[in-house]
């Protein structure tokens, strides 16, 4: 099926007339759809439409704006199974996970629909008599939204829904590996009542569409999720234009397994954290820091389970691990595995799988390295695939030190029965998310999501905190004294002498 861009309420082809094809990574003969290969001229048209629509949308009461988001959530709920199947065809993860992706979008819709009746500012006493002081939030303007392929519906909702509730208009570029999911979301927003120009979608690659969105003089805020390298470049461009940016970038997340850990619980957590979504999550468990006292016993259990994981099409209910998203990912993962062979001991996996039913897809065997030092590249750099690096620690302090010794700081976890150890880890781990007795992956719509260090630029998605990205603060003073009162003038009487 051929799809189009949405610009100013109309579905249109790319101005170049060019298109690209979206294929199923589990079976590349399966074409999901054909999409516009857009360019800067299409971005210009979309931004112009969003800019023209901004004044009317910002003047629409926030509860009314939020009704559009609520209705979108209801439509997502009604179409959940259909959207999940399309998503599995498009990016590969198993149906349980794509259903969860859609559910996260539904939860996000309901959360931000409620925020439309909040958008809290605050009031505070003035230092002067007969004067009122308060703050309000107002929208920033045209928001450029650039999203990744691994959560092709949930992450766009994290950004678009609060942007709209806050009163911004949107130009959206979904990942070119997963255009269908983003396209469906925009169709739903139109059905839910988003006015022409308020939401626009422009399909295409990062250089042709993403960069022009960032560089455009009329986009006033940009929200991006993706690689650290791209995030740094984006932030540099936008920062030079004094443009607000929200970047959610990479991770090198660790589970610390103490010697008193529940090994059965730990085993389930490591398998889910490392190989859920085929390791293609910014929160994936890519490091297991295991206490030396339980290392051998636990590793034996882990390898027995990893070798039983079934690769396959995510639409097959028997599949545990789906494909990676494209051939480029296979190559990138293999480069790191080849590096890892020199830095540790390969215990299982380590190669693409092309046998039988898997020969038409992009499949990589779940891979485990042991005996890796904290300084190794595979222990420090994000791989974004089904590769787990196992390191040993001698104590809680040693485990926390190893966990923190990377440039990223998104998510971390500790498995222990010791409440003191758990709270010490909560206090000392340098990550935006800390789990106790659960793996590193997962987020809830009403809680902040984001990380420290190279994981981002300090903002948080989710919860009410995202409104600090999509709104400007305005401080309001009302002086009803009827006289000139000089603020910031020395109007405080000096204390009288105690003689």
Q: What is the 3-state secondary structure (H, E, C) of 293-355?
A: CCHHHHHHHHHHHHCCCCECCCCCCCCCECCCCCHHHHHHHHHHHHHHHHHCEEEECCCEECC
The pLDDT mean for the chain works out to: 97
Asked whether the predicted pLDDT for residue 30 surpasses 70, the reply is yes
Beta bridge partners of residue 393, listed in sequence order: 291
Asked whether the predicted pLDDT for residue 5 surpasses 80, the reply is yes
CA angle at 255 for the pair 224 and 330, rounded to the nearest 5°: 55
Summarised one tens digit per residue, pLDDT across range 357-388 is: 999 999 999 999 999 999 999 999 999 999 99
- Tokens 């260090």 belong to 453
Summarised one tens digit per residue, pLDDT across range 244-303 is: 999 999 999 999 999 999 999 999 999 999 999 999 999 999 999 999 999 999 999 999
Give residue 404's pLDDT: 98
CA angle at 339 for the pair 338 and 341, rounded to the nearest 5°: 65
Alpha carbon distance 34, 17 (integer Å): 12
Asked whether the predicted pLDDT for residue 495 surpasses 70, the reply is no
**Pairwise pLDDT comparison (339 vs 496), residue with the higher score:** 339
Q: pTM score > 0.85 for this model?
A: yes
Asked whether the predicted pLDDT for residue 497 surpasses 70, the reply is no
Active site residue 493: no
Asked whether the predicted pLDDT for residue 340 surpasses 70, the reply is yes
Give the confidence band of 488 by pLDDT, cuts at 50, 70, 90: confident
Active site residue 348: no
| All structural domains of the chain | 5-249+456-476 (3.40.605.10), 253-436 (3.40.309.10)
Alpha carbon distance 144, 223 (integer Å): 6
275 within 8 A of 482, measured Cβ to Cβ:
no
Give the confidence band of 487 by pLDDT, cuts at 50, 70, 90: confident
Asked whether the predicted pLDDT for residue 496 surpasses 90, the reply is no
Give residue 498's pLDDT: 62
Q: What are phi and psi of 433, to 5 degrees?
A: -130, 135
Catalytic residue among 90, 104, 248, 392: 248
Alpha carbon distance 214, 227 (integer Å): 16
Summarised one tens digit per residue, pLDDT across range 66-123 is: 999 999 999 999 999 999 999 999 999 999 999 999 999 999 999 999 999 999 999 9
Catalytic residue among 115, 282, 382, 461: 282
Give the confidence band of 491 by pLDDT, cuts at 50, 70, 90: low
Q: Which residues contact 218 (CB under 8 A, 6 or more apart)?
A: 47, 48, 50, 51, 141, 142
Alpha carbon distance 403, 288 (integer Å): 9
Map residue 364 onto helix, strand or coil.
Answer: strand
Q: Which tokens hold the place of 469?
A: 């990205």
Summarised one tens digit per residue, pLDDT across range 386-406 is: 999 999 999 999 999 999 999
């Amino acid at each position: 099926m051929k799809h189009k861009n949405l610009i100013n309420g109309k579905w249109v082809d790319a101005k170049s007339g060019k298109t690209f094809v979206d294929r199923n990574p589990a079976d590349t003969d399966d074409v999901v759809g054909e999409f516009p290969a857009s360019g800067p001229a299409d971005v210009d048209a979309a931004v112009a439409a969003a800019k023209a629509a901004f004044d009317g949308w910002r003047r629409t009461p926030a509860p009314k704006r939020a009704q559009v988001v609520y209705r979108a959530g209801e439509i997502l709920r009604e179409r959940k199974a259909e959207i999940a199947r399309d998503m599995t065809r498009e990016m590969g993860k198993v149906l349980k996970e794509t259903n969860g992706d859609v559910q996260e979008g539904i939860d996000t819709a309901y959360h931000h629909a409620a925020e439309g009746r909040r958008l809290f500012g605050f009031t505070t006493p003035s230092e002067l008599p007969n004067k009122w002081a308060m703050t309000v939030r107002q929208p920033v303007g045209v928001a450029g939204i650039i999203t990744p392929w691994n959560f092709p519906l949930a992450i766009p909702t994290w950004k678009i829904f609060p942007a709209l509730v806050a009163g911004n208009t949107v130009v959206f570029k979904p990942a070119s590996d997963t255009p269908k999911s983003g396209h469906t979301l925009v169709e739903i927003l139109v059905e839910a009542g988003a006015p022409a120009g308020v939401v626009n979608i422009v399909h295409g690659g990062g250089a042709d569409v993403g960069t022009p969105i960032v560089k455009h003089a009329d986009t006033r805020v940009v929200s991006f999720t993706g690689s650290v390298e791209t995030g740094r470049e984006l932030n540099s461009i936008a920062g030079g234009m004094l443009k607000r940016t929200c970047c959610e970038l990479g991770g090198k997340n660790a589970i610390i397994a103490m010697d008193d850990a529940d090994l059965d619980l730990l085993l389930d957590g490591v398998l889910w954290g490392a190989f859920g979504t085929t390791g293609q999550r910014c929160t994936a468990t890519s490091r297991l820091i295991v206490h030396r006292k339980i290392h051998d016993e636990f590793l034996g259990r882990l390898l027995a389970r990893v070798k039983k994981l079934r690769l396959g099409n995510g639409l097959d209910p028997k599949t545990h691990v789906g494909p990676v998203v494209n051939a480029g990912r296979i190559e990138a993962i293999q480069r790191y595995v080849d590096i890892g062979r020199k830095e540790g001991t390969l215990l299982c996996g380590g190669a693409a799988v092309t046998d039988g039913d898997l020969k038409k897809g992009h499949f990589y065997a779940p891979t485990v390295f042991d005996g890796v030092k904290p300084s190794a590249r595979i222990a420090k750099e994000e791989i974004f695939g089904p590769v787990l690096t196992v390191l040993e620690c001698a104590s809680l302090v040693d485990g926390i030190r190893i966990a923190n010794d990377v440039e990223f700081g998104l998510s971390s976890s500790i498995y222990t029965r010791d409440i003191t150890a758990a709270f010490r880890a909560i206090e000392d781990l340098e990550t935006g998310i800390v789990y106790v007795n659960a793996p590193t992956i997962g987020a809830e719509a009403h809680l902040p999501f984001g990380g420290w260090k190279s994981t981002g630029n300090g903002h948080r998605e989710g919860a009410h905190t995202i409104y600090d990205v999509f709104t400007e603060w305005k401080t309001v003073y009302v002086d009803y004294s009827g006289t000139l009162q000089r603020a910031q003038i020395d109007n405080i009487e000096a204390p009288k002498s105690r003689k």
